[in-house]
């Protein structure tokens, strides 16, 4: 990757993190999301159990 692309990517990540902070997310919440973005909460799992679109 070229240096300018890396700098642009870094800027986009910084903007993303700053936006999350402005929305009230803590750094720990952001880190937890980035470590496991597809892990659902228990509440989310329960809400999809009765959804016919989500059945196997």
> Cβ(20)–Cβ(27) under 8 Å?
no
pLDDT of residue 44: 47
Cα-trace Rg, the chain = 17
Whether the pLDDT of residue 28 is over 90: the answer is yes
| pTM flag (> 0.85) | no
Sequence ranges of the domains in the chain? 10-36
Dihedral, CA of residue 6, residue 23, residue 41 and residue 30, to nearest 10:
40
């Amino acid at each position: 990757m070229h240096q300018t692309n890396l700098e642009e990517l870094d800027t986009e990540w910084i903007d993303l993190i700053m936006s999350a902070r402005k929305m009230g997310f803590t750094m720990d919440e952001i880190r937890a999301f980035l470590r496991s973005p597809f892990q659902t909460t228990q509440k989310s799992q329960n809400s999809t159990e009765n959804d016919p679109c989500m059945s196997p």
